Amino acid sequence: MSFFVELKRRNVIRVAIAYVLLGWAVLQGADFLLDLSGAPQWVIRALAVIGLVGLPFALFFAWAFEMTPEGIKRESEVDRSQSIRPQTGRKLNGIIIGLLLVVIALMAVERVFFAGGAKSGGSPGDAPDAAAASAPKSIAVLPFADLSQARDQEWFADGLAEEILNALVRVPDLWVAARTSSFAYKGSDKSISGIAEELGVDHVLEGSVRSSADRIRVTAQLIRASDGFHLWSQNYDRDVADMIGIQEDLARSIATALETSMDPAALAQMAQAGTDSVEAYQEYLRGLQVQSDGLALPDPSRATASFKQAYEHFERARALDPEFFDAHVQAATYWKVQLTPSRTDSGTSGLEPLQMLREYNTRIGQAIDSARSEADRIRSLADRAMVDLRLREARRLFEQYLELRPNDEPARFEYAGLLGMLAEREPFREVLAYWKARGDADVNAANYYANEAYRVIDPSEAADVSLGFLARWPNSSAILYQVHRTLMWAGRFREASELAARYEALVPGGDELVRAREACAAGDRAAAERNLEGLTGARGDDLSVRWLIYNMLGDTRNEVEVLRPLEQSGVPFQLASFLGYTKFDPRPYPSLMAILEREGVQRPPPAAPPFRCPPPAEPSVAVLPFVNMSADAGQEYFSDGITEEIINALVRVPGVKVAARTSVFAFKGREQDIRAIGDELGVTHVVEGSVRSDGEQLRITAQLIQVQDGFHLWSETFDRPRVNVFAIQEEIAAAIAGVLTEQLGAQAPAPDALRISVQAYDDYLRGRAHLRARSDEGLAEALRLFESVTAAHPDYAPAWAALAITADVLDDHEPAERHALRALELDPDNVDALTALGAVYRDTGRWHQAAATFERAMALDADSPQLAEDYGEFLARTGRMDKLLEVTSQGYAADPFLVPLVEVYAVALIAAGRSDEAKEVLERTIARGGADWLHRTLAAALDGTGDGSGLRALISGAPIAAASRTVLLDALDRPGDPSAAAAASALMAEERGASGYAQLELPEIVLLQLGDVDAVIANYRESAAGGGALDNDEWFLPIYQGFRAHPGFAELLETYGLPAWWDQAGWPEFCRREEQRIVCT
């Protein structure tokens, strides 16, 4: 008889099954009752141990003894013919069936009634109550201890703890203490209950790591803080190759032990490490540890080096596993930081911004492609949309992500920054409420609140809350810095000064911004300015710090110009990163304003800090456009002219800075507080007034206002006959200078030696108004008016300069040159005359004289829009694209409505690789009307964006004759058809022979698209043969690449004399001379 048959006969197997089922049912019931009574967890464990210990005894008794009618007997004493074991077996079968039914019933009840609550969806603006409701399911992951013999596995211990933390963050109904908060207890001897109380959590995970060459042992314990008992504990003794499995198993086990509401599939996905490569995972963990260590370093240069070293680990992880999502995200974050000027480690890679953007896009694209879940994919899409400044889309994606991952604090901070860029105050307040509720338990939440609150709520209220957080986290230098700034914005300077001393003691070397704020609040402008001296550009955030100090100083010009390179970098995100500052004014940056307009962002006026430094001792004044109060609205030209003449008179006051006409006329018609205008223009005083003209009588009212407090220093009304207009202007200027002399030691202006008649002056002002309008009829009238002024007053230089500009606009080069030279005889520094003369030299191929004349004009007034237009056209036509953007952006910022300047500015943007911006600028200008001829440049911009269908859409909507549109569209539809190309070529020739731009120069673009360069070259040859000037500003753009490579292009260059000039001045990057041959690309 076999052993197994004997086991069955003696009912041992039945007893074993019945015992196990009965034990399981008893433990389930006991667990329920013990949970109701609040008994500690060890009681149920003790019962389980007793049950297991009893199993061998039950099996032994089943084998050795038998239940008989006479009682229990040894099996050897029972006569097998009298044995009742078969009956006992049947009874046991019944018991087993009954117990199975009990087990099934208990499992069904548990599934229905005790499966756990529904998932907490959460939203970006979850109220604090929602956070409190989930508080029982909360955990802090402490750094694991490195118990290896060599103590060289700290990187793995920290990285493992951080990865477990990151995995648990993905559980919607589990609140996880921030890494910074929990890792602050590394090496601490505080009790678990004390740590949990300080962090505001109910559970703590701690553990240790031991490793050898090929084995690793991880011990982890999940502890309930209320009583210190272990809920779960596990040892992992495995091969090094299974370290990924350890991390995933740990995360799943913890989430299960805490009875979170995640279903098994979601739980498995949550715990995934994201890679199957142990080598990649090790590199990734090393990167996390190096990055973490760097954040704790007080020395910015060492922290930057750590950040770069961590990035190299992430790059190696990416190379080892191209599908490793987390490594892609960390590498992309490195490049995003590089593009953020306010970060100390930005711009330290040595690459140009466009290249850094390409590096970021590559990595964030790989993260999106390798995302292990939809939530991860949405997070990366939101990040890319933010960098692309698709702000509305980024907001939608962040909100969608935070619905899925409400506990991702870094993502919430990014979301808050996005709300700052969008100037969305209400949702921002909801985020603040969330951080406020968590700040006592989470140092990151406290820091986030202190960093952002003063921007959207009352600064004093924000300061009170932040001071409470500082008391909770007294050793956090980050919170200390933020609270100091908040107190400064609240005007609580004495309290702020006490914190400044604490900060200097806590942080070696202190901080320039803390010192500058303190100096400005104390009225010590010189001390504040000294903080600029140490900003050598070695640190990544030097530019940002410089901008912040200029803002404190009220130095508007430098404040604007220091950020100008960011606008010209080709990466709008760099400049847009300053939108989070409420004191940042985007209006001087046209490209950024276009993006804000596209995204529908309505920003409030920039906020002036209450601790701004007192104005500099040097007097400065802005003369706002005088208001025309005459019954005749057509007299506005006269009130504008009065304003300009007062500006000209004040310019002659030694030691007084006077805001330029273009700058002050930008405020024409705007209702705004004088102090805000003064701050924006960076001046100490403002002049405003009105003009009323009634026949021969004139009344001018003027006031001089001190910007600092808005008080009037001087005000007067002048009632004079109109014949004395010049005397009135000088009288006003002298009165203003007198007040400035008394206050600041300035000298009164020397009187203007030249007088012209009232009628001539009136004609001059009317002519200037017609010249600005640029209509054909207006230009003819301007020419007539300026000629009448010069005839009556041949020594009046401004009229000769205006006459030269008008003649140049009309392409009448000989008189334009003559008039400009006459103006310069009378006034050698007349910028208008120099601009007109440079344009004449340019259009007649005298390149050397043009360059010298334009450079001389730039030295006198680099902000002149007219100069930027004409000099920009010279640079574009001669291939000097490297300097083009610098020149045109200054002029465009001063006057974005000067259409010819818009064209050449757009050309500069396209050449700089910013075709999207150029497209927006051109479309906005065309939409305003009067700029249809910009369509050719718009076509070049569309080509630069890679919009293949854009040209067809452009032609379809262009204001050209229907027949011409049909010809051009037909040519695009039939590439390679000679007859279609010939028809387009005929249109191009027809346009060359007529005045104006009947076809908007679109035939030329169509032929270039079709590759019919011969026809375009032939057209330019005929124009050159007829004496036409070189008037194409787009020759050196990408769309003309095939045109430049054509041998005929070199002939055209020779015709216009450019190679000879390039031999002297240097060749542009697109062309070169090889022996006796000109080669262009």
Cβ atoms within 10 A of the Cβ of 726, count? 18
Q: Check pLDDT > 50 for residue 116.
A: no
How far apart, in whole angstroms, are the C-alpha atoms of residue 259 and residue 137? 8
What gap in Å lies between CA 1030 and CA 1034, rounded to an integer? 11
Mean pLDDT is lowest, of 299-313, 833-847, 964-978, 1063-1077, for 299-313
Mean pLDDT of 600-619: 84
> What is the reported pLDDT for 746?
44
Host H or E run for residue 68? strand 65-68
Report whether pLDDT(358) > 80. yes
Show the CA angle centred on residue 777, arms to residues 775 and 1032, nearest 5°.
45
Q: Which of 119-128, 342-351, 689-698, 703-712 has the lowest mean pLDDT?
A: 119-128
Q: In this prediction, what percent of the chain has a pLDDT beyond 90?
A: 19
Q: For the CA atoms of 311, 314, 318, 320, what is the dihedral angle to 10 degrees?
A: 120
Mean pLDDT in residue range 1054-1070: 86
- Of 610, 503, 617, give the one whose Cα is nearest residue 551: 610
Q: Which residue has the higher pLDDT, 615 or 456?
A: 456
Q: What is the pLDDT of residue 120?
A: 36
From the list 808, 772, 803, 809, the residue with the least C-alpha distance to 790 is 803
Section 900-906 average pLDDT: 88
pLDDT at 119 over 50: no
Q: What is the pLDDT of residue 114?
A: 44
Q: Tell me, what's the pLDDT at 421?
A: 93
Segment 379-394 shows an average pLDDT of 95
Within 652-755, residue ranges assigned H as helices are 661-665, 674-681, 725-744
Kindly report which listed range (158-172, 464-478, 510-524, 681-695) carries the lowest average pLDDT score. Answer: 158-172
pLDDT in tens, 168-198: 777 777 788 877 677 777 877 788 888 888 8
Using only C-alpha atoms, the chain has a radius of gyration, in whole angstroms, of 40
Annotate 249-300 with DSSP letters as a single string.
HHHHHHHHHTT-S--HHHHHHHH--S-S-HHHHHHHHHHHHHHHHHHT-S-H
Asked if pLDDT for residue 49 goes beyond 70, the answer is yes
Q: What is the pLDDT of residue 70?
A: 62
pLDDT of 350 higher than 90? no
Q: Which of the four pLDDT bands, split at 50, 70 and 90, describes residue 669?
A: confident
Tens digit of each residue's pLDDT (9 = 90 or more) over 620-640: 888 888 888 887 777 787 778
Average pLDDT, rounded, for the chain: 79
CA 343 from centre of chain:
12
**Which range is least confidently modeled, 113-122, 455-464, 752-761, 793-802?**
113-122
- What confidence score (pLDDT) does residue 599 get? 92
How many Cα atoms occupy the beta-carbon half-sphere of 115 within 13 Å? 11
Count of CA atoms in the C-beta half-sphere (13 A) of 558: 15
DSSP state of 356: H
What does the DSSP assignment read for 507-557?
Answer: STT--HHHHHHHHHHTT-HHHHHHTTTT--S-STTHHHHHHHHHHHHT-HH
- Among 63-77, 133-147, 315-329, 908-922, the minimum mean pLDDT is found in 63-77
Q: Residue 164: what pLDDT?
A: 76
Among residues of the chain, what percentage have pLDDT more than 70? 78
Q: Do residues 710 and 674 lie in contact, with contact meaning Cβ atoms separated by under 8 Å?
A: yes
Highest mean pLDDT pick, 468-472, 722-726, 737-741, 1011-1015? 468-472
pLDDT of residue 302 exceeding 90: no
Asked if the model's pLDDT at residue 1016 lies above 80, the reply is: yes
Q: Name the residue with higher pLDDT: 759 or 847.
A: 847
Give the span between the Cα atoms of 353 and 805, in whole angstroms. 39
Residue 388 has pLDDT above 90, yes or no: yes
Higher pLDDT, 892 or 773: 892
- The pLDDT tens digits for 754-785 are 457 767 777 887 787 778 666 778 888 888 98
For residue 748, pLDDT over 60 is answered with no
How much is the pLDDT for 134?
37
Q: How confident is the model at residue 575 (pLDDT cuts 50, 70, 90)?
A: very high
Q: At what angle do helices 154-169 and 264-271 cross, to 10 degrees?
A: 150
Tell me what pLDDT residue 677 has.
82
Question: pLDDT value at position 283?
Answer: 85
Whether the full predicted model's pTM is greater than 0.75, yes or no, is no
pLDDT digit string (tens) for 55-113? 787 776 666 666 666 666 666 665 555 566 666 666 666 776 676 667 666 666 555 44
| 1048, burial (CB in 10 Å: exposed 0-12, middle 13-18, buried 19+) | middle
- Label residue 429 by pLDDT band (50, 70, 90): very high
- φ and ψ of 966, to 5 deg: -60, -45
The mean per-residue pLDDT over the stretch 743-758 comes to 50
- The predicted pLDDT at position 268 comes to 52
133-142, 335-344, 429-438, 565-574: range with lowest mean pLDDT: 133-142
Quick one: tokens of 234?
Answer: 């596990």
Tokens representing residue 751 in the block: 């009187």
Q: Residues 6 or more apart from 2 whose CB is under 8 A from it?
A: none
pLDDT band (50, 70, 90) for residue 270: very low
Split at pLDDT 50, 70, 90, the class of 392 is very high
Residue 998: φ, ψ to 5°: -60, -35
Does 267 score more than 70 pLDDT?
Answer: no
pLDDT of 118 strictly over 50:
no
Measured CA to CA, the distance from residue 1 to residue 1038 in angstroms comes to 95
Specify the amino acid at residue 114.
Answer: F
State the SS3 of 146-211: ECCCCCCCHHHHHHHHHHHHHHHHCCCCCEECCHHHHHCCCCCCCCHHHHHHHHCCCEEEEEEEEE
Q: pLDDT: is 153 or 857 the higher one? A: 857
Q: What mean pLDDT comes out for the span 302-317?
A: 84
Helix (H, G, I), strand (E, B) or coil at 1064: helix
Q: Identify the band that residue 135 occupies on the pLDDT scale cut at 50, 70 and 90.
A: very low
Most confident of 58-72, 308-322, 720-734, 759-773: 308-322
Question: What's the pLDDT score for residue 1037?
Answer: 83
pLDDT of residue 307: 84
Residue 967 has pLDDT above 60, yes or no: yes
Helix (H), strand (E) at residue 615: none
pLDDT of 261 > 80? The answer is no
Q: How many residues does the chain have?
A: 1081
- Using pLDDT thresholds of 50, 70 and 90, give the confidence band for residue 495: very high
Cα 403 from Cα 411, distance rounded (Å): 11
Q: What is the mean pLDDT of residues 505-517?
A: 86
What is the per-residue pLDDT for 957? 79
Name residues whose C-beta falls within 8 Å of residue 645's C-beta, 6 or more positions apart in sequence. Answer: 726, 729
For residue 638, the surrounding DSSP H or E stretch is: helix 636-651
CB environment 419-432: b (16+ within 10 A), e (fewer): bbbbbbeebbeebb
Q: Does the pLDDT value for residue 992 go beyond 60? A: no
127 pLDDT higher than 50: no
Q: Please answer whether residues 170 and 270 qualify as being in contact, where contact means their C-beta atoms are separated by less than 8 angstroms.
A: yes
What pLDDT, in 10s, does the model give residues 449-472? Answer: 999 999 999 999 999 999 999 999
744 contacts 769 by C-beta, under 8 angstroms: no
Pick the range with the lowest mean pLDDT from 49-63, 217-231, 490-504, 842-856.
Answer: 49-63
Q: Tokens 């200029």 belong to which residue?
A: 550
Asked if residue 623 lies in contact with residue 925, where contact means CB atoms within 8 angstroms, the answer is no
Domains and CATH numbers, the chain: 3-113 (no CATH), 131-273 (3.40.50.10070), 511-573+584-614 (no CATH), 620-753 (3.40.50.10070), 771-1006 (1.25.40.10)
DSSP per residue, 863-917: T-HHHHHHHHHHHHHTT-HHHHHHHHHHHHHH-TT-HHHHHHHHHHHHHTT-HHH
Residue with tokens 């410089």: 546
- Residue 657's pLDDT is what? 75
In this prediction, residue 166 carries a pLDDT of 73
